[in-house]
Homo-oligomer: A and B are copies of this chain.
Amino acid sequence: MNSAPTAGEVSPDDSRIARLLLRVEIDEFNARYASVLDRGDLMEWPSFFSDNPLYRITSRENFCAGHPIGLIYCDSKAMLEDRATSILKTMVYAPRLITHYITNTVVTTCERDVISAEANFLLIENQIDRSPSVLMAGSYFDQFVRHDGRLVLRDRQCVYDTVMVQTSLIFPV
């Protein structure tokens, strides 16, 4: 009596549905995260992290070789807050707007307490006196946990593919 399942049918597999919805939730997290950076609301940025987070921006080469160094390295929420404060206090740069595009989200593992995920980021730089251009291309390697049901980052490694990085980069990604 039952018709065979079709290619697009939702299987009664709840774990498949849970995985797909989790992917959407992480996408939305990343969109909110990027919006805070693009609007310059840097004091909101640490709120996306857990209490004892790791945050690093590093090159693909360093990341693959396992080197701990990075353009930015923070291993506590206080360091994230210091970073945000010092940027806001010392900003003396030519006006520019940066726009994030976050795509290609993959939930790699999801164990009892920790969700591992990846995504690609693209940063476009808009300057006053020239056409918009690609500032940085790369990937996030993330570990999420939940606080009161809400996703927060326990670890975010921002790994850039771009080889020629502007040394003036002091912003979070």
Contacts and interface: CB of A to CB of B under 8 A. Distances in A.
Contacts of A144: 7
- The complex is assembled from copies of this chain, and their number is 3
A128 B60 CA distance: 13
Nearest to A163: B128
B31 A111 contact: no
Interface string A104-132: 11110011111100111010101111111
Interface stretch (A18-26, A41-49, A72-80): A18-26
A131 B145 CA distance: 35
Contacts of A134: 124, 131-134
A149 B24 contact: no
Contact of A103 (B103, B127, B128): B103
A126 B131 CA distance: 15
B163 A28 contact: no
A99 B161 contact: yes
Given A60-B97, A131-B133, A132-B164, 17 more contacts: A6-B111, A7-B110, A7-B145, A7-B146, A8-B107, A10-B22, A23-B24, A97-B161, A101-B101, A101-B122, A102-B103, A103-B103, A122-B124, A126-B162, A131-B162, A132-B134, A132-B136
13 contacts: A7-B111, A8-B110, A10-B14, A20-B21, A27-B105, A31-B104, A35-B106, A97-B163, A100-B104, A101-B122, A102-B104, A131-B133, A134-B134
